[in-house]
Structure 1
């Protein structure tokens, strides 16, 4: 690299590639993320997600028709290399009500993504759902990763709104990026960088504080409000 290029793009002094994320329990205030175990989690996940076809609208798989089919799908996830599949446990009752992946893991570049988010209707738009995203981010950045990604179909407006609410920044659109279920997918890209994480993390922690919720579990202030206070 020439001196001009080096001046324009200095090296990452002190940074080194982090390890592949070991599968471990990530424990929060409202939820716990456990390494996906089909024998332990299938019954709860099927009870929460079975028959909920709308949950699968934007996922790259058809909804499982029965418990055995769901079990086969989860088994294939556990066997897949290069991802960390996690069950989402609601600590209010100890039940697994969804699952997600840490994926697109590229240690050499310090990149990780949260994806394949499969939340039951009872989990959607709850403190548990938000805290799960926080736990994954905190874990990745604690290992030394530099970039936390969120990607979704550009037609999936709820997912795009969620990414922005969580503090991801919109980066752009990959047109005709994929073919999913025989249909075109333009992919919207979002990210949080390590330099941005302290403020995003502080916003999550403030929003998740029990004092921010009334006796019915309704928020007193929005996540975006707490994050803005950190700017």
Structure 2
């Protein structure tokens, strides 16, 4: 990487004379082949989401979330209504296009439009969505919106450092691990070290191409099994 210096001979970052503040994420609907992303709404999505979470055998999926499992649909609806009042986080529902039902949620948060930095968080995927093309496409659609439509420079993923499934998901999707912030939070009565991951705009074209190829119908056989893993596709494209 080329090193830049100021008039005092000190090393500085590259100049960005054409940079301007990015738009905030909006109440958009984004269609994919397997799923649709749309603004989260308690009345429209709450019952579907509550029923989707009832498919889980236990409450382990809530261990690293800020909330606990909800015992009633009314409590869950109240939680959603409170969550969507502001614009940061901006919450979205993930809709299974085959069933037309909401099967998970995620959000764009810690929005820094002046720097072009944003984080994907509050990822709450039900058993009806996890480990399926829907979950990967939901993440892809939001990434594409942030980089291609809004023009952000940096897309972050953060999780409890002990949350191994979240760490694996970040690396699989193409995020780079940047380090761990020790004792970053106290939640649910316990201390949390936070692992940081990111994709930056220069990495997005390769990440986008790999995800697009992985999500293509031709990458799955008649039983829905992948022909090529996302890691294999990314390595192949990186070598071209």
TM bucket, shorter chain: over 0.9
**2:29 aligned residue:** 25
Contact 2:55–2:127 under 8 Å retained in 1? no
Question: Structure 2 stretches of 5 or more lacking a match?
Answer: none
Task: Give the helix-richer structure, 1 or 2.
Answer: 1
Selected match of 2:171 from 157, 164, 167: 164
SS at match of 1:23: coil
* TM-fit CA distance, 1:92: 1.7
Count of matched residue positions in the alignment of Structure 1 and Structure 2: 231
**In 1, distance between residues paired with 2:233 and 2:76?**
38
* TM-fit CA distance, 1:206: 0.3
TM-score by length of 1: 0.96
CA pair 3-150 structure 1, distance change in 2 beyond 3 A: same
- Aligned pairs for 1:168-207 (under 5 A) are 168-207=175-214
Once superposed, what is the RMSD of the aligned Cα atoms?
Answer: 1.5
TM-score by length of 2: 0.92
**2:234 aligned residue:** 227
SS at match of 1:162: helix
SS at match of 1:205: helix
Q: Which runs of 4+ in 1 moved over 2 A?
A: 4-8
Selected match of 1:62 from 59, 63, 68: 68
**In 2, distance between residues paired with 1:117 and 1:222?**
22
Question: Structure 1 stretches of 5 or more lacking a match?
Answer: none
* TM-fit CA distance, 1:15: 2.1
**In 1, distance between residues paired with 2:36 and 2:29?**
7
